[in-house]
Amino acid sequence: MPNQSVILKNLKADCENCFALCCVALPYAKSADFAFDKDSGTPCKNLQSDFRCMIHQNLRDKGFRGCSAYECFGAGQKVSQNTYGGRDWRENQESAKEMFNVFPIMQQLHEMLYYLNEAMSYEETKAIHHELHEAFEETESLTNLTTKEILNLDVPSHRSKVNKLFLRTSELVRAKISPGKNSNKIRKGSDLIGARLRGSDLRGANLRGALLIAADLREADLRAVDFIGADLRDADLCGANLSGSIFLTQAQVNATKGDRYTKLPAALKTPEHWAHRK
């Protein structure tokens, strides 16, 4: 198996080697995250002939916060360069619709690969490294199937299987830290929209699937918190400590507010829009 840093590189979006699949295949509705409606399979109005976005540097200012936060986990370049061998949808209209249907499935598989790769990076998961490795290999093999086979995949069933490993990973990693005094008050899937959690000690909390939209998490201690599937849109992380958090993605972080005092896991970078906040 390749070095984990090499794997991680392949599980991040490489737009230069993608035919702007997220700008065409995915639908969205006019909202705080998108300036207008778009159907699946319809190119975004901002997409240029060279597959570049004409407002890429100003997505948030132009009303496309959803685009600035999106992460395909490397599925875009995988579908563009591997699955379809570099044949773009504009030049191959006969396979365009199929490509747009394959892309979101590939995105789900790559997201699972991202989490499996992270799970294998923890010393605490040594006891299940063999199972994690097997799950990674199996999931990767699914990404190399034919387009017809990919379209017929039972993704929910496979996700359910690997999710058991994610749960075990979470339990093993969170067990290394003493629970914060506020962590037991919150459960996975909690509705915490707009919650006032400033300064809360949530170390080791299970926030899987939690709704944290616009939550005030300033100066909160979020070390070793499981964030898989949590909705962090517009959550305020200024001064918060998320170092050592589990299954936190760049897409989740990109959707938040933060500042130079916010501490992130080493694998994640500070979003550009944070630089404008004091």
Please tell me whether residues 51 and 107 are part of one structural domain.
Answer: yes
The predicted-structure confidence for 75-117, as pLDDT tens digits, reads as follows 999 999 999 999 999 999 999 999 999 999 999 999 999 999 9
pLDDT above 70 covers a percentage of the chain that reads 96
What is the DSSP secondary-structure string of 232-248?
Answer: -TT-B-TT-B-TT-BS-
Q: Is the pLDDT of residue 43 over 60?
A: yes
Domain boundary at 174, 200, 233, which?
174
Shared domain for 146 and 190, answered yes or no, is no
Round to whole Å and give the CA distance between 75 and 67. Answer: 16
Tens of pLDDT, residue by residue over 226-265, are: 999 999 999 999 999 999 999 999 999 999 999 999 999 9
Q: Kindly state whether residues 187 and 104 are assigned to the same domain.
A: no
* Phi-psi sector, 174: left (phi>0), alpha (psi -120 to 50), beta: alpha
Say whether both 50 and 128 belong to one domain: yes
What is the Cα–Cα distance from 32 to 23, expressed in whole angstroms?
18
Verify that 145 and 221 share a domain, yes or no. Answer: no
Tell me: do 188 and 84 sit in the same domain: no
Q: Are residues 243 and 144 in the same domain?
A: no
Helix, strand, coil shares of the chain, percent, nearest 5, are 40, 5, 50
**Where in the sequence is the domain holding 109, given as residue range(s)?**
4-174
3-state secondary structure of 12: coil
What confidence tier does 181 reach under pLDDT thresholds 50, 70, 90?
Answer: confident
Q: How confident is the model at residue 124 (pLDDT cuts 50, 70, 90)?
A: very high
What pLDDT shows up at residue 53? Answer: 96
According to the model, what pLDDT value does residue 9 have? 80
pLDDT band at 185 (very low <50, low <70, confident <90, very high): confident
Q: How many domains does the chain have?
A: 2
- Kindly state whether residues 87 and 132 are assigned to the same domain: yes
